[in-house]
Amino acid sequence: MKRIHLSALILLISTMIGTVTAIAQSKATVRVDATTPHQHITGFGGFVCSPQFTYNHMSTSEIKKVWGETSTVGCNVMRLYIPIGRSAWSQSLQTAKTAKKMGLIVFASPWGQPAEWKTNGTINAKNNDGTTGKLKRENWPDYADYLEGYVQYLRDNGVELDAISIQNEPDWAATYAGCLWSASEIAEFVRTYGSSISCKVIAPETLAISDNYANELNKTNVLPHFDIYGGHQYGGIQSAYKNLASKGKELWMTEYLINWNEIENNTRNFDYTKDVFNFFRSINTCMLGDFNAWVHYSAKRYYGMLGDGQRGTSNGNVTKRGYVMAHFARFVTGMNRIDATFSGSSLEGSAYLSESGDTAVVVVANESNEDVDLTIDLPFYTTSGEIYITTKSKDLSSEAIEIPEETCRPTTAIPSQGFATLLFVRSRDRQPSNMKGSISYFDRIDDMVPTNTSFGTNFKLSGKTKTFDHSNPLISNNTNATRGYVALNDRYSKLVLQVKNVSSTLNYTSAKTTLTYINSKGAVSTHDYGELDLNRRENFDIVFDLSPQTLTDGCKGLLSISNNNWSSVLTITFGSVYLSNGGLYSAQLSGNYVSDDSNVLDFTSDPSCTSIDLTNVSDLPSSFPWLNDNNRMAYVAEGSPFTGSNLVVGNECQQMTLVANSSDFRPHKPFNAKEASLRMSVEGFRLAIFPLTAVIPDGVSAYIIDDNLTITRMRSIPPHVPVLIEGNGEFTFTGKGEIDYFVSSVDNVLRGSYTNTPLYTGDYILGQHEGKWGLVRLTAPSTLPPFGVYAHPDSTADFLPFNPSETGIYDSSARSHNSHAIYSLQGIRMGTTDNWESMPRGIYIVGNKLIQKR
């Protein structure tokens, strides 16, 4: 057989049925909600010195690049290292003076104490022989006096210290300067001596933000004696620290650094696409975790905000990490964090509101490889906006956001592999709204049917909290199909696990994450998706690609998702867990209708929302402009006086108007249409599927196709059956009756879809070759538009021609043993093949065939 070249194939597809579409820029929405304010942002900062650096490590000019309102980075918090021994305190004085002259918040942390006060006789937390050191109890009063002495020393020299820490990392047995304190010991010291220190007290500054230290500090007799809960991000973030915020304590993350592959001997071992986004996520995680301040370790270092000349950094110049921190430090310091809910893409970030409520800021990261068109749903209207962008080639580049007219939903592009800070100024308030909205996802895994009742119900993950580690897989514990499997009712492109939140006993990763599934031949297969990064912790999706590009042997069932985690036991609370192609969800609204309510605007602008239930909404408008020119359906209560296309009153729609090659069609429940139509363009031939019993208009011929690609002319078009349409021009197919959504069986050769559906190499679509019409094999991925039909025959031929029928009648012995709907030649549903024997004699449409019942 003559092979068809790819260029000719693309021309055929694009001209005949329009299935090749330009790759559109991804779209997303972030809803900025000011109704629930969170923490005040005290600021951001870094460390100027440490045991391996002297206090002249940073010059004054370098300090002014990182700190201050006119600096590049915009930090306002400086952390000092307290030199060990009173005689050494003068080392820190000049830096402290410089910081206070700049108006910075300055706090100090002690690493070690005089060796004679320690149980191991050295300043270290652990000696080389393994002996660990604590502060001798008889020297606790001396140490309290020592800390107060440092505060007084700086005060006497013109520096008012804002806060002092009790101990740097009391939970880490370091072989350098340090001291170990248990949670109860540090709480006892704070309770006994905290009030004797004449500036704010920070505790416990642990390596991990752990519950045991937070719980000890949260005791009634301890709380009055310290001011700031401080902790480091290295050992993970638990949750008890939040209880201290409710008691009036500020929460500060006082030290963190990411130093990837430090021992590698190369020029530069920091990869922008990995390292910088992890750095952003470290800050953003703490912001979402209600921390008031975030402080990096050394400000000047190859892994810091200012380079030191090592590992490819330029000495004294701001690094990419510095510019990423600037997205927070320069724009959100002094603001209050508010809720920001991202949907529609993998964007992540957080939102903030000024004290006056006049300015909203959204900080965003886009780690994907494509630009994202972001709609920002603001708590007010605006006429002006600004965006600051950092990418590989840009450093905090600013430009105005184009806003043609006053809006509460401006849009702007977030660059691929980049960061953006968006600023909007209020022009007027939005109308208050009491509307509530919710989403019901289609194709949830919970709604799939196991092939055996003994499979159990653990596969129902939506809304559940599950433990996930090496001994606790998701879906089931099964590694074979002897107890059945979750049977998929369609070929899906991905499995989406919405994560509301996740906690871990150690790291936020899932190692060797493996899907065990049933392939298209019915055999058990596995695929290793590698290590999953769950460090976003809240409100993100875990997505498994189920497409033939990844699962090359096909997927028609699911058995389990396992990983190789031993120490890092994950506890995940899921939102919806669903399978996806197109037409993702239906929406439900309640309350008094407000046209610019965020739920209304989100649902009506999102093509993934295919139907909206308004039965519990009052004060509805007389018309719904957002129903025009798309295939979305809206439902209102029975007896409502409203009329209009695609509006279902109770269970009845006066006029349903659909357009092929438009948006997805997927009503959330069936209804009766008094009048229904589907408009489509046909250029020669077109494969289509109809959700209605349709009359064939003048100028059109319609044919049914069997699995042997034999075509037979029809007198009318039944619902949910792939048909071949012949004609030239735009035609409107009309009908009436029950309207419902339909999924073609995965066993069918011809598969119709009412939603945009991904196609892959090896699928077939309508095409022409050497004057003959038939099915053309795809050699590259594509997309099937709504109401389209593709084929997946057991063939590798480039072209499969249609065969004209002679009689158009097939004997009943040819019918499938699978259950299919039965239609009359007029398109009236007569039943299913389960009751075939009780059907009267005649000719029927069963699946894609004409069958004669004798």
What backbone torsions phi and psi does residue 485 show, to the nearest 5 degrees? -160, 170
Whether pLDDT at 733 is above 80:
yes
Residues 131 and 223 in one domain: yes
Residues 612 and 728 in one domain: no
pLDDT interval class at 820 (50, 70, 90): low
Residues 777 and 700 in one domain: yes
> Of 552, 580, 608, which one is at a domain's C-terminal end?
580
Structure confidence by residue, pLDDT tens digits, 745-792: 888 999 999 999 999 999 999 999 998 999 999 999 999 999 999 999
Closest CA to 465 of 412, 503, 424, 409: 503
- Expressed as residue numbers, the domain containing 72 is 43-334
Whether pLDDT at 669 is above 70:
yes
Residues 616 and 688 in one domain: no
Q: Give the CATH number for residue 553.
A: 2.60.120
Residues 614 and 691 in one domain: no
Contacts of 808 (CB under 8 A, 6+ apart): 712, 713, 850
What are the start-end ranges of the E strands in 641-779? Answer: 647-649, 652-653, 656-659, 671-688, 693-695, 701-705, 710-713, 723-739, 750-753, 757-759, 764-769, 772-777
Residues 275 and 308 in one domain: yes
Locate 437 and state its tokens: 């909205």
In a domain, 321, yes or no: yes
Residues 490 and 606 in one domain: no
In a domain, 396, yes or no: no
**pLDDT at site 826:** 54
Residues 797 and 676 in one domain: yes
* Model pTM score: 0.83
In a domain, 32, yes or no: no
> Of 559, 580, 601, which one is at a domain's C-terminal end?
580
Tell me the sheet residues that pair with 437. 589
Contact 175, 122 (CB under 8 A): no
Neighbour count for residue 391 (Cβ, 10 Å): 18
Locate 774 and state its tokens: 């038939």
In a domain, 414, yes or no: no
- Residue appearing with tokens 């749903």: 377
Question: Residue range 299-326: average pLDDT?
Answer: 92
**pLDDT at site 850:** 65
Question: Residue range 42-48: average pLDDT?
Answer: 97
* Burial of 251 (C-beta count, 10 Å sphere; 0-12/13-18/19+): buried
Could you say which DSSP state residue 34 is in? -
Contact 160, 198 (CB under 8 A): no
490 alpha carbon, distance to own chain's centre: 24
pLDDT interval class at 816 (50, 70, 90): very low
Residues 525 and 618 in one domain: no
385 alpha carbon, distance to own chain's centre: 25
> Of 306, 334, 362, which one is at a domain's C-terminal end?
334
Residues 642 and 714 in one domain: no
**pLDDT at site 23:** 33
The whole-angstrom separation of Cα 803 and Cα 467 is: 55
One-letter amino acid of 740 = D
In a domain, 643, yes or no: yes
Residues 606 and 576 in one domain: no
In a domain, 804, yes or no: yes
In a domain, 206, yes or no: yes
Question: Residue range 494-505: average pLDDT?
Answer: 93
Question: Residue range 43-69: average pLDDT?
Answer: 92
In a domain, 413, yes or no: no
Q: Give the CATH number for residue 199.
A: 3.20.20.80
Question: Residue range 789-809: average pLDDT?
Answer: 84
Residues 199 and 283 in one domain: yes
Q: What total number of domains does the chain contain?
A: 4
**pLDDT at site 96:** 96
Quote the mean pLDDT of the chain: 91
Contact 558, 445 (CB under 8 A): yes
